[in-house]
Structure 1
Amino acid sequence: MAERRTTYLIQDPYDLDAVQFIRTIDLDYGIRPICLYTSTKDRFYGELDFPILTSDLIEASIDVEPDDLSSVVEQLGEYDVCGVVPYREDTVEVAAELCELLGLGWNSPETLRRFRDKFEQKTYLREIDPTIRVPECRLIATADDLIAGALPERYVLKPNDGLGNRSIGMFGADGLAAARAHLDRESGPFILEEFIGGIEYHIDGQVRGEGDVESLAVYEYVRTEVNGYPTVYLGELLCPTTDPRFDQLVDYADRLLTATGLRRCPFHLEVKVDDEGPCLVDLGARLPSEGGGRTISRLHPGRPDAYAIAAHDYLGINAVATGPIDWTAYDRARTVLVYGVSEEVGLIASVGGVEAVEAMPEFVRWAVKPGVGDPLVATTDLRGAPFIVELSCVGDRSDALALMDEVRSLVTWNVDAGRRAAEIARVGSTARRARRKLHWLLHQRMHGAR
């Protein structure tokens, strides 16, 4: 009888974070994943963009229907599945069902599903530990539900399973017409919750096997209102351990994550702090997006990187990084993330300031590097940022804010680009899209697709 091969499952892994997990787990354990694809079209383009997905680092690839995961389990008879890696917010639901079907001793399906249901999670936390402050909220299925209960003086509407800061609206009690219009142009259901003032932060870390909560980074968000949306990213500033709110936020994260019941998993927690203290905004069972795991790893160079620790905990193979956390490097310089904001729609025909930013002594990396031919949308959420750059600032908060302003003044697009440059960008973008589409149509004709 053939020996059963050890593997793990990862869904739709056409993403830099997914690739990092694949490389890390192969390097540490020599275990290759079975990739599950929920769309043959997205799989085709994903494998085109990330050649590793068709390399010998992959055990197998399976096209799946998310509504029929039991048929996937039937195809895994020759494998010993040691875990699931839900590297991105929208892969947590499938991970929850797979864990249930495979009987994996990671997290209960109920625990994981709450991380994709904002209303259920906040209701659960309020019931399990009333000392944890969460906003008053209710579920909104249709615009008519707005008047089914009293409206707070100010309130927030956002998709109940939302991610990436998408489709968020803020309204006053006298803004019923605007709230209805917001719901009519977005897909639901929505959660309606009271508006919490103050400063917004996010805490990133890892919940270990016994439920110990390790906060590894605290950031302050800098947001603005633009393009009709009130919470558009401008940047993030690392919160040093000497900041009076650091310990308050870490303590809140510890109590809240403990209450969720989560184990062996990274977390991304968004919190607002006003005169009453911290209050939950959102919570994800994942590393921060746009390569945030790399940033966390640089903040703690004496530990295995964030992907390695998360991978060990996902697969439950052995314990790593069990010692105390050293905050020396974390406090040595203030990490700054700067987000570009576009108010126009079209293409980048010319871009300036990229080399100047890269020449700055504070430059670390581009999370999203702007280039000629890139699409431009009116920025309303994370996906619409034309650039994201990471910097390291030696200075205080005011120095970090000044650095953010300097970068925004340097990076420009379509300034005196001229009609010829715009046409070159348009033709180049059209040609690239046409080539990709032609490849897909040929593939579809040969293999079929859904």
Structure 2
Amino acid sequence: MSNRKPAVLLVDPVTVGVGYKQAVRDMDMSVVSLFTNEPADLKVTWPHHAEGDDVSLYATEAAEVLTALADIDYEIRAVVPASESGVHLASVIAHELSLPCNDVELARARHDKSLMRDHAAAQGLRIPAYRLVHDPSEVREAAESIGYPVIVKQCDGAGSIGATLVPDAASAENFQVVDETNYFGWTVDAWLVEEYIRGREFAVNAFSSDGDHRVIDMWEYRRPDDRDYDFPLWDNVQAVPDDPDWARIEEYVCQVLTAFGVRRGPSHTEVKVNADGVFLMEVGARLPGGPATDQWSEFTDVRPFHDTLECYLGRRPALMDKPINSRAMFGAIAIHNEVGPGTLVAMHGLEEVRNHPGVDKVLVSYEPGDHVPPTRDTLSIPLGAWVSGPDQESVVRVLAAIRAMVDLEITPDQPAD
């Protein structure tokens, strides 16, 4: 029997690292964290990223990680992808260590949007028409072969960084890459040009255990009008099980998870649904971002980090078989800067939002005096809030109240001479 201390390897535990690390401690194991960014960069973006670690490793290649793990006095019992950037590497490392994991052969397809589309097409799943391009100059040809409107996405992207709606030939002709790096700071060298699907958009959160899937909840991305968009976050509202599209979305998402080799752990799948059916936007084998994990922990019997660990330890978590027992419905809001780039003078109504019944958390990204870009992705939202209520109607009312309270006073940039 090994005398090495039992531990869990967390891959890129940055945004939700505290939750995972506490869950590992609760299970009487040690925390070994692997970060795929340079330490110097992390000290700027996530200065407290290594807090709570027994060991912190920095590497991007599986072979390097395996060598480092062999030199420490810990026995790794589970490998957990703690963010999207670590999904592929976590699967490879777990496979090499003969630990429970999702299908390693499909790990890259669960992250790279081009490979995701290729595999979904091969599996007969309904998806948008698409083309892969390696240079912005190729966008127009790809778009015209598909038909307008199209949307251009980074293949390795997240958070809608770089997602651009291209409505017509003139826009395609003048297409320029705004973001040369993705959400994780990686240089972008490939883009997916795909058919723009109109319809309702949902994020579906599920857990899997030994190939069984259970949908935990769905969130609808609600927009203020029926215009096409390239950034979905506006009002996010948790769907109810008697929603007319729930059953077919649930069935489709379970098919997607099986097709992409998701056998254990949490997943976050985004789809669009219309009269033609349900279309895959993307699938991620990880916990959702945003409010879901906090809201589950506060108002349901779901223990997102503990339940995830159970899955990757090869055990079946209780949530696979027991009622969720939700004591509230949830929502989230993103207040956009729609006036163009400028300097924030004031965020009127902020204190009223913080004190409004049903508001659980307020997230402020800019202070007066800061330069504020137009909102086009998750990194450029001036103000967000997470809300809860006894039913969906209450949640919708709170979101509307927040919008009525908030006024962003922004001095626009002066045009260059």
Could you say which residue in structure 1 is the equivalent of 2:307?
Answer: 309
* Structure 1 residue 327: Cα displacement: 5.3
2:323 counterpart residue number: 326
User: Do the aligned partners of 2:265 and 2:308 also contact (CA within 8 Å) in 1?
Assistant: yes
Give the conservation status (yes or no) of the 8 Å contact 1:14–1:46: no
Aligned to 2:182: none
Shift of residue 393 of structure 1? Answer: 3.5
Q: Which has the larger radius of gyration?
A: 1
**How far apart are the structure 1 equivalents of 2:9 and 2:101?**
13
**Which residue of structure 2 aligns with residue 255 of structure 1?**
255
Partner of 1:11: 11
Corresponding residue number in structure 1 for 2:403 = 408
Matches within 5 A, 1:103-114: 103-114=98-109
Mapped to 2, the partners of 1:193 and 1:354 lie a distance apart of 38
Matches within 5 A, 1:40-51: 40-45=39-44, 48-49=47-48
Matches within 5 A, 1:198-209: 198-208=199-209
- Asked if residue 381 in structure 1 is aligned to residue 371 in structure 2, the reply is no
Unaligned runs of 5+ in 2: 180-187, 412-417
Any conservation in 2 of the 1:9–1:36 contact (CA below 8 Å)? no
What's the secondary structure of 1:231's corresponding residue? coil
Q: For 1:65-84, what aligned pairs fall within 5 Å after superposition?
A: 66=60, 68-77=61-70, 78-84=73-79
User: Which letter does structure 1 place at the counterpart of 2:47?
Assistant: L
The TM-score, its normalising length taken from structure 2, stands at 0.85
Deviations 1:14-65 (A, max 9, x none): 32x1121011111123332244353121233466345xx24xx42212232x
Q: Secondary structure at the match of 1:29?
A: coil
Please state if 1:21 is matched with 2:17.
Answer: no
Q: Does 1:165 align with 2:139?
A: no
Under a length normalisation based on structure 1, what TM-score does the superposition of the two structures give?
0.79
State how 1:3-402 maps to structure 2 within 5 Å: 3-15=3-15, 17-36=16-35, 38-45=37-44, 48-49=47-48, 53-54=50-51, 57-64=52-59, 66=60, 68-77=61-70, 78-128=73-123, 130=124, 132-146=125-139, 147=141, 150-172=145-167, 175-186=168-179, 187-208=188-209, 210-223=210-223, 230-299=230-299, 301=300, 303-316=301-314, 318-321=315-318, 324-326=321-323, 329=326, 333-343=328-338, 344-345=340-341, 348-368=344-364, 371-372=367-368, 376-394=372-390, 397=393, 400-402=395-397
Amino acid at match of 1:361: P
Secondary structure of the residue that 2:145 maps to in structure 1? coil
Summarize the Cα distance change of 1:21–1:347 in structure 2 as closer, same or farther, 3 Å threshold: farther
| Aligned-residue offset at 1:110 | 1.8
Are the structure 2 counterparts of residues 74 and 49 from structure 1 closer, same or farther at C-alpha, using a change threshold of 3 Å? closer
Could you list the structure 1 runs, at least 4 aligned residues long, displaced by more than 6 angstroms after superposition.
none
CA shift in 2, pair 1:90/1:2, >3 Å: closer
Contact 1:201 1:272 (8 Å CA) reproduced: yes
Q: CA deviation at 1:109?
A: 2.3
Q: Secondary structure at the match of 2:102?
A: coil
Residue 123 of structure 1 aligns to a residue in which SS?
helix
- Partner secondary structure for residue 289 of structure 1: coil
Residues 232 and 380, structure 1, Cα contact 8 Å, conserved in 2: no
Percent identical among aligned pairs is 22
Deviations 1:78-118 (A, max 9, x none): 43222222111112232233234434341232222111111
Q: Take 2:320 and 2:35, find their aligned partners in 1: how far apart are those partners?
A: 35
How many angstroms apart in 2 are the aligned matches of 1:81 and 1:166? Answer: 34
Three-state SS of the structure 2 residue aligned to 1:326 is: coil
CA pair 205-347 structure 1, distance change in 2 beyond 3 A: farther
CA RMSD in angstroms comes to 2.9
Alpha-carbon distance between aligned partners in 1 of 2:258 and 2:128, rounded to the nearest angstrom:
18
1:185-217: CA deviation from partner (whole Å, max 9, x where unpaired): 444311122221111111111111x21111111
SS of aligned partner of 2:234: strand
Q: Is the partner of 1:75 in helix, strand or coil? A: helix
AA paired with 1:276? D
Alpha carbons of structure 1 residues 368 and 309: separation in structure 2 relative to 1, 3 Å: farther
